[in-house]
C-alpha cells in the first residue's frame, strides 16, 4: 500500500468519525427535546444512553484525528502556512477533545456511583474547569482556520471548506449538538478525498483513445 492509498483511506476515517459524531449529536438532540433527561449530571452519566453516546464520541474523535491528517496531507502544499497553523491547532485541540470524551465515557459513569456530588458541582475546585474551557472553546478555532485554508487551497470543493469554517463558528454558540454543521463538512471533505482515485480512474478511461484495428 502506497502513501496515496493511505491518504485516501484517511478520508474514509474522516467520514466514519464524523458520521459517529453526527449520530451522537442527533441522539443528544432527541434526548434534549423529545425524551427529556435529568437535570443532574450524575443521573445522566449513570444511564446506558450516556455510555453509548460517549463511546460514539470517543471512537468518532479518534477516527477524525486520523482523517484530519489525511485531509491536510492531500492539500499541504496548496494550503500553505495557514494550513499548517490550522492543522496543528485542530489536531492538538481535537486530541484534547478525545481525552475529554474518554473521561466522559469511563470516568463519569464511575464518578456517578462513587462521587455524584462531584459531577453535580458546576464549579469544582482545581484546574478541571480551566482544562475543559480551553478544550471546548479552543478546538473550534483550529477548525475555523483549517476550514479557511481548505477553502483558499481549492483542492477540495470550496463549499465544503466554507461549510467547515461556518460550522466551526457555530460551534462557539452555547447550544446542544452544536457541531452538526462541522460533522457534515468533515463527512463531505472525507468523501471527496476517498472518492478521488475512482474519479481519476474514470477520467483516465474516458481519455483513452479509441483504437481501431488496422486494415491490410
pLDDT band per the 50, 70, 90 thresholds, residue 211: very low
Range of the domain at 17: 3-196
Residue 204 lies inside a defined structural domain of this protein: no
Name the pLDDT band for 63 (thresholds 50, 70, 90): very high
Q: Is residue 202 part of a domain?
A: no
Q: What percent of the chain has pLDDT over 70?
A: 88
Neighbouring CB atoms inside 10 A of 175's CB total: 12
Per-residue confidence (pLDDT) for residue 76, from 0 to 100: 95
Residue 83 lies in a domain: yes
CB 179 within 8 A of CB 21: yes
Domain for residue 211, yes or no? no
**Residue 187 within a domain:** yes
Residue 89 has pLDDT above 90, yes or no: yes
pTM: 0.86
pLDDT in tens, 114-152: 989 888 887 766 788 888 888 988 999 999 999 999 999
Q: How many domains does the chain have?
A: 1
* Residue 212 within a domain: no
In a domain, 61, yes or no: yes
Q: What is the mean pLDDT of residues 156-160?
A: 97
Mean predicted confidence (pLDDT) in 61-80 = 96
Q: What is the pLDDT of residue 62?
A: 97
CA distance 144 to 68: 13
Specify if 36 maps to a domain: yes
Amino acid at each position: 500500500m502506497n502513501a496515496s492509498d493511505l491518504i485516501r483511506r484517511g478520508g474514509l476515517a474522516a467520514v466514519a468519525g464524523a458520521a459517529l459524531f453526527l449520530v451522537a449529536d442527533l441522539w443528544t438532540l432527541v434526548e434534549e427535546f423529545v425524551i427529556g433527561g435529568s437535570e443532574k449530571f450524575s443521573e445522566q452519566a449513570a444511564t446506558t444512553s450516556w455510555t453509548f453516546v460517549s463511546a460514539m464520541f470517543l471512537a468518532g474523535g479518534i477516527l477524525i484525528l486520523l482523517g484530519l491528517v489525511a485531509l491536510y496531507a492531500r492539500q499541504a502544499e496548496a494550503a500553505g502556512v495557514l494550513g499548517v497553523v490550522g492543522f496543528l491547532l485542530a489536531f492538538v485541540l481535537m486530541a484534547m477533545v478525545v481525552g475529554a470524551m474518554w473521561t466522559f465515557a469511563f470516568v463519569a459513569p464511575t464518578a456517578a456511583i462513587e462521587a455524584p456530588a462531584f459531577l453535580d458541582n458546576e464549579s469544582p475546585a482545581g484546574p478541571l474547569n480551566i482544562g475543559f474551557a480551553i478544550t471546548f472553546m479552543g478546538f473550534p478555532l483550529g477548525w475555523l482556520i483549517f476550514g479557511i485554508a481548505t477553502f483558499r487551497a481549492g483542492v477540495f470543493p470550496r463549499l465544503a471548506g466554507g461549510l467547515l469554517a461556518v460550522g466551526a463558528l457555530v460551534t462557539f454558540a452555547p447550544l446542544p449538538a452544536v457541531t452538526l454543521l462541522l460533522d457534515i463538512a468533515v463527512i463531505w471533505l472525507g468523501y471527496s478525498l476517498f472518492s478521488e482515485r475512482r474519479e481519476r480512474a474514470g477520467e483516465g478511461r474516458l481519455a483513452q483513445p479509441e483504437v481501431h484495428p488496422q486494415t491490410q
